[in-house]
């Protein structure tokens, strides 16, 4: 059964860089795109961006200037970096499987990481 497990720092100061990693277990890494989504407290869901095994990425234009998503195929992992964070970036961040040119639905999700930005 495919599982996504994510980790990263949960408390940041303004202007720091958010860094999260998601590992894919027991599933094909090369067949799918993998995605990052965030959810601000009490708010809805926002797509951040996606990547595939060859490193092809797409980003939300609203975050593109600050986001980098990368992949490590040797470990079946992908990572998110978001620079110059502010309080507005406080949210639960999820990794998920899906997206890409097939527009696959997000069918497998990580457990989520709460990231708080506070001075």
What are the residues binding another protein (CB under 8 A)? 44-47, 58, 60-62, 94, 96, 99, 103-107, 109-112
Rounded to a whole number of angstroms, the minimum distance from the CB of residue 115 to another protein is 15
Contact (Cβ atoms closer than 8 angstroms) between residue 21 and residue 44: no
Q: Which one, 47 or 68, has the nearer CB to another protein?
A: 47
Q: Cβ contacts of residue 37 below 8 Å, gap of 6+?
A: 45, 46, 47, 48, 93, 94, 95, 96, 106
Q: Which one, 54 or 119, has the nearer CB to another protein?
A: 54
DSSP reduced 3-state for 89:
helix
Q: Cβ contacts of residue 65 below 8 Å, gap of 6+?
A: none
The C-alpha angle with vertex 50 and arms to 74 and 62, in degrees rounded to 5, equals 140
Rounded to a whole number of angstroms, the minimum distance from the CB of residue 16 to another protein is 25
Q: Which one, 61 or 119, has the nearer CB to another protein?
A: 61
DSSP reduced 3-state for 87:
helix
Rounded to a whole number of angstroms, the minimum distance from the CB of residue 105 to another protein is 4
Beta bridge partners of 47: 37
Rounded to a whole number of angstroms, the minimum distance from the CB of residue 24 to another protein is 15
Q: Which one, 45 or 87, has the nearer CB to another protein?
A: 45
């Amino acid at each position: 059964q495919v599982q996504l497990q994510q980790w990263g720092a949960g408390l940041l100061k303004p202007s720091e860089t958010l860094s999260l990693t998601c590992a894919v277990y027991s599933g094909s890494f090369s067949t799918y795109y993998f995605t990052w989504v965030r959810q601000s407290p009490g708010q809805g869901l926002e797509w951040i961006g996606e990547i595939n095994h060859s490193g092809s990425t797409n980003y939300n234009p609203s975050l593109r200037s600050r986001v980098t998503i990368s992949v490590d195929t040797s470990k079946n992992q992908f990572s998110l970096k978001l620079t110059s964070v502010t309080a507005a970036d406080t949210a639960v961040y999820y990794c998920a499987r899906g997206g890409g040119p097939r527009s696959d639905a997000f069918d497998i999700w990580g457990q989520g990481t709460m990231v708080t930005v506070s001075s």
